[in-house]
Amino acid sequence: MLSTRDFIEKDYYAALGVPKDADAAAIKKAYRKLATELHPDKNPNNADAEARFKDVSEAYDVLSDTKRRAEYDDARRLFGAGGRTGGFSGGFPGGAGGGEPFDLGDLFGAAGTAGAPRGGAGGLGDLLGGLFGGGGAGTARGRSQAASGPARGQDVETEATLSFDEAVLGVTVPLRMQSPGTCPTCSGSGAKPGTSPHTCPVCQGAGVTSRSQGAFAFSEPCRNCRGTGQVVDDPCPTCSGSGITTQTRTITVRIPAGVKDGQRIRLPGKGAPGRRGGPAGDLFVVVHVAEHDLFGRKDDDLTLTVPITFAEAALGTTLTVPTLDGTVSLKVPAGTASGRTLRVRGRGVKGKGRAGDLLVTLEVAVPVRLTAAQRKVVESLAEEMDEDPRPRITAAVQAGAQR
């Protein structure tokens, strides 16, 4: 809602990108260009563009009207551009439009908001009408429309705990969610079934009422209808007239393959339903991934530690190891050192990009206890393998002993 402070603080010239002494033609040209660029039809779900579109429209409304432009320039001079002005916090009355509002009809085209008055008074053009003094019973249709037009549903965040495999491979999970939604009893109207809301008699549907104080007219949200422009005689028993209830929904969502613990996934359009035909919000799912008892994970690679015997390490062998989808055969070359990691390409996490690898780390297992027969064999092995496995350590020890 526009307020006097906004009016004084807002730099309408900057909004349109024109100099303070721009003539009417330059202002109109700048506005048409920006309005076309920023139009909501061209920028769906872009709150930034929407806000700028409003700013630009507002700026044009004032600057395109010689009288209001002069008032604006005076106000900026009097109160100081950008200065805090205190005191003036009310909105402006939606007076019957003065001046010649730029016909938004040709911008909205066929997609124009239903019921928007074409031309004449009532477009955005009259939002600032009768700014200083005057006012009167305005239609302010533009504003009540903005207040009751389609609204995007809220974004909702929830959590999901996935098993390790589910996170790696992707999974479809049902999520129970509590969120505000359109009341099923009254379909969001807030009126008891069989009745319907009607236009607020106090504000005539504008959602705002105005009062005058000195040279200024203030407007404030209508108390009778709490700014909605509509009143309900028999409130819906389910939602007490708000049109919104807390609902538990179970929705099925597809969690893509390759999500990580703590990751926040955005599922567009799965959030709270929009109001009055607006689009649904987004759902954000924070995933928790449980540990696996065999596999670890490093980004898109899976890790697996596989114990092998000394004989397998020394002689080489072919192992069969598990993956998350099936098994894979792995050739261990003769003379493999303990701790060596072998890479199995493409058997890791298959996320969005290239699939990760399975990294198999081989660990030579040392038997804790030996049978008598094993002991004999190992002893004769030790005798046979009399080469010093640690010559550099031995050299260092000898150097130390001589000091």
Which residue spans within 106-224 are E strands per DSSP? 156-162, 171-182, 198-199, 208-213, 216-221
Q: Is 221 near Zn ion (CB under 5 A)? A: no
Q: How far apart are CA 143 and CA 57, in angstroms?
A: 13
Q: Which residue in the set 30, 104, 128, 225 belongs to the binding site for Zn ion (CB under 5 A)?
A: 225
Bridge partners for 181 per DSSP:
245
Please say which residue, 64 or 209, places its beta carbon nearer to Zn ion. 209
Q: What is the CA radius of gyration of the chain?
A: 36
Does residue 147 interact with Zn ion by CB under 5 A? no
Q: Does residue 232 interact with Zn ion by CB under 5 A?
A: no
Identify the H or E element spanning 166: helix 164-169
- Pick the binder of Zn ion from 186, 217, 280, 313 (CB under 5 A): 186
Binding Zn ion (rule: CB under 5 A), the pick from 18, 162, 200, 359 is 200
Report if residue 236 touches Zn ion, rule: CB under 5 A: yes
Measured from the CB atom, the residue of 29 and 249 that comes closer to Zn ion is: 249
In the complex, minimum distance from the CB of residue 139 to Zn ion, in angstroms, rounded to a whole number:
14
Closer to Zn ion by CB, 246 or 252: give it. Answer: 246
238 binds Zn ion (CB under 5 A): yes
What one-character-per-residue DSSP string does 203-264 give?
TTTSSEEEEEETTEEEEEE-TTTTTSSEE-SSB-TTTTTSSEEEEEEEEEEEEPTT--TT-E
Residue 92: which residues within 8 A CB-CB, separation 6 or more? 2, 3, 4, 7, 127, 128, 131, 217, 219
222 part of the interface to Zn ion, by CB under 5 A: yes
Of 159, 157, 173, residue with least CA distance to 272: 157
CB of 102 to Zn ion, least distance (A): 28
Coil/strand/helix, residue 386: coil
Shortest CB 117 distance to Zn ion, Å:
19
**Please, what is the minimum distance in Å from the beta carbon of residue 227 to Zn ion?**
7
| Binding pattern for the stretch 95-134 against Zn ion, x by CB under 5 A and - elsewhere | ----------------------------------------
Cβ of residue 221: shortest distance to Zn ion, in angstroms?
A: 8
Is residue 239 at the binding interface for Zn ion, with CB under 5 A as the rule?
yes
Q: How far is the CB of 115 from Zn ion (least distance, A)?
A: 18
Cα separation, 232 vs 239, in Å, equals 12
Which whole-number Å values give the CA distances from 396 to 120, 386, 388, in the listed order? 99, 19, 14
| Choice between 187 and 380, CB closer to Zn ion | 187
191 binds Zn ion (CB under 5 A): no
| CA separation, residue 146 to residues 150, 182, 207 (Å) | 8, 19, 10
- Cα angle 183, 186, 191 (rounded to 5 degrees) comes to 120
What's the min distance (Å) between Cβ of 225 and Zn ion?
3
Q: Where do contacts with Zn ion occur on this chain (CB under 5 A)? A: 183, 185-186, 200, 202-203, 222, 224-225, 236, 238-239
